[in-house]
Structure 1
Amino acid sequence: MTEARHGLTTLKGWDDSHPLLAFPMVYLGWAYLFWAPMLWSQTSVWSLPNLLWFLIGGASPLLAGLGLAALTGGKTQVLDLVRRLLDWRRIPGRWWLTILLFWLCFDLIMAGLAVVLGITDSPLDVHWTLLQNPGPLLFLLLLSFVFPAIEEIGLRGVYLDRLQQHFGPATAGLINGAVWAAWHAPFVCFPGYYADISFNPELYWWLPMILCQTLLLVQVYNQTNRSILAVLIFHGMMNFTGEWLRISSDMYPFMLSGNVLAAALLLIWWNNKKV
């Protein structure tokens, strides 16, 4: 018992001394440890034992977030995470519209521009029948919202808070996004991971897109009283809308330009607020 207590004290001391490194080390280290066998596998990520390794590794943002919260703030900080995850009243009424409709409007605008500019004449293939099929709809809802719940508790609820204690929202968002992108990078190598969905990313456009989307998540987070629920739903709607609209694979490099523009406008606005 004494050795365990001494170990926790040592970990807390290291975390206190390196508050910006502790989360990514646990977050990425735990994930890569369990995902490594899948990267060399020739069988689907959805088959055993790969699925087990994927789920254990994929829990890393939740484990890192809850673990560090408990280590540094004990029960009080863990309960604060729970409150910010469940309390919908933290979110101002006008922000609910943004959270629920931003990605639908963004995707439709980008699809329209793609047609006008001649990039593709079939930017979308809307999955209307999805709304009539409970099984596939439930799977998509789980994929769209459960994984973001696991991610947002640690990434934004814990790590973004730490970053914004040292940096402004732009720098904090870029660091947060870079760590998030590093966690996602192995996904393109997982056998069969994207087999049953329309999204099939390539790193050259996906990783910078994650950086841009993180800045948007930072804005939602800061404008909703640090609500984890707000960024969870915003993140989930991004996933769900893209899959429901079934954005053409030809569209995604072009979609990056829209994400860059949205992030750039946000950076300009943040900069103007300082003046």
Structure 2
Amino acid sequence: MGKASLQYTELASIWGFFGLSFLFSWAVWGAMLALSLPADLMLPLLILGAFGPTFAAVYLMHRYGNAANIRDFWTRVISFKKIGWEWYLVILSIFPAIYLLGYYIYSYFGGEQPPVASLFSGLDSFSAILLFAFVMIFAGPVSEELGWRGYVLDPLQQKYGSAGGSLILGIFWILWHLPLFFIEGTSQHAKGFGYQFWSWSFQLIMLSFVFTWIYNNTNRSILGAILLHLMANLAYPTNLEPTGELIFTAIRVLVVLAIVWAWKQKSVIRQDLAAA
């Protein structure tokens, strides 16, 4: 990490960030639960509530950061150069690869991959395509990643290490989503609190480790995290039976173990070099 990032982690308040993120998001989503609102306000409010992490990060950065911190932050949001071409390949392929591998294994247990056409159902007009693109980009990737990876991941890693920071962030990521499980019409509400909830929760833990791994290898690129979040949403398997959920969970466990092993190998190499 460069000088700007070290200064940044010193000013970062981990718990203040989480507090502001939860306060904003839960207030908006709580209002949706408590008030009788017109149906056409539901989607805008869902997206607005999702901006809690990003709003908290931008506020804290501009409130407490210096010029170098702020410049570093926004450069990481917009710079394509921070991400090497090989990492673009990883970002664009890792979740589709997990998706295809999971369904390939699932097919041996009687499961079927949804037809490609079903992924684009309802996108039969230009306005529908624009709305879909807007939701996919802003309801998650942009609304969350300036906060999760762009702001709080650095101090979490500095204090708890890459694995510990990823695990803590993953747990808070799960908790932050909880109000959505009570709002009808959301994908979380459709899952409920049965086996799909636990599979989805582990998906977020796995995502947290993958995001940290790629973030650390793309010069702390927030843009890379945004693109990765988009790919994770596009390639998320839905409506799985328990067997399918178990298969995808097993694959995610292997992914996390592989990443942690890679971190340990890198740590050993660094120690050997230091001793040489």
Q: Tell me the TM-score normalized by structure 1.
A: 0.81
Q: Where do 4+ consecutive residues of structure 1 move more than 4 Å?
A: 15-18, 40-44, 50-53
Q: How far apart, CA to CA, are the structure 2 residues paired with 1:80 and 1:56?
A: 25
1:96 aligns with 2:69: no
**Where do 5+ consecutive residues of structure 1 fail to align?**
1-14
2:26 maps to which residue? 32
CA RMSD of aligned residues (A): 2.8
Corresponding position of 1:69:
61
For 1:126-180, what per-residue CA distance to the aligned partner results, in whole angstroms no more than 9, with x for missing partners?
2268387544433332222222112111110110012122121101111111111
Instruction: State the one-letter code of the partner of 1:63.
Output: F
2:137 corresponding residue in structure 1: 145
Aligned equivalents of 1:190, 1:94: Cα separation in 2: 40
Query: Percent same amino acid at aligned positions?
Result: 24
Whether 1:54 aligns to 2:56 is no
Whole-Å separation in 2 of the counterparts to 1:254 and 1:40 = 38
Structure 1 residue identity aligned to 2:157: Q
Aligned to 2:112: 122
Code of the residue aligned with 1:23 in structure 2: it is F
The one-letter amino acid paired with 2:80 is W
Is the contact between residue 61 and residue 154 of structure 1 (CA under 8 Å) also seen in structure 2? yes
Aligned partners of 1:125 and 1:248 also within 8 Å: no
Deviations 1:213-245 (A, max 9, x none): 110000110000000111110110111233xxx
Distance, in Å, in 2 between the alignment partners of 1:121 and 1:58 is 33
Paired residues for 1:232-271 under 5 Å:
232-242=226-236, 247-250=238-241, 251-271=244-264
1:73 Cα deviation from its structure 2 partner? 0.9
Contact 2:30/2:179 (8 A) holds in 1: no
Farther off after superposition, 221-230 or 265-274: 265-274
Quick check: 1:190 aligned with 2:183? yes
1: CA distance, partners of 2:207 / 2:12: 26
Structure 2 residue aligned with 1:78: 70
Q: SS at the partner of 2:257?
A: helix
Taking structure 1 as reference, are residues 122 and 55 closer, same or farther at Cα in structure 2, changes over 3 Å only?
Answer: closer
Describe how 1:80-229 pairs up with structure 2 within 5 A.
80-116=72-108, 118=109, 120-127=110-117, 130=120, 134-147=126-139, 148-194=141-187, 200=191, 202-229=196-223
CA 1:132–1:37 in 2, change beyond 3 Å: closer, same or farther?
closer
1: CA distance, partners of 2:107 / 2:245: 14
Contact 1:86 1:229 in 2 (8 A): yes
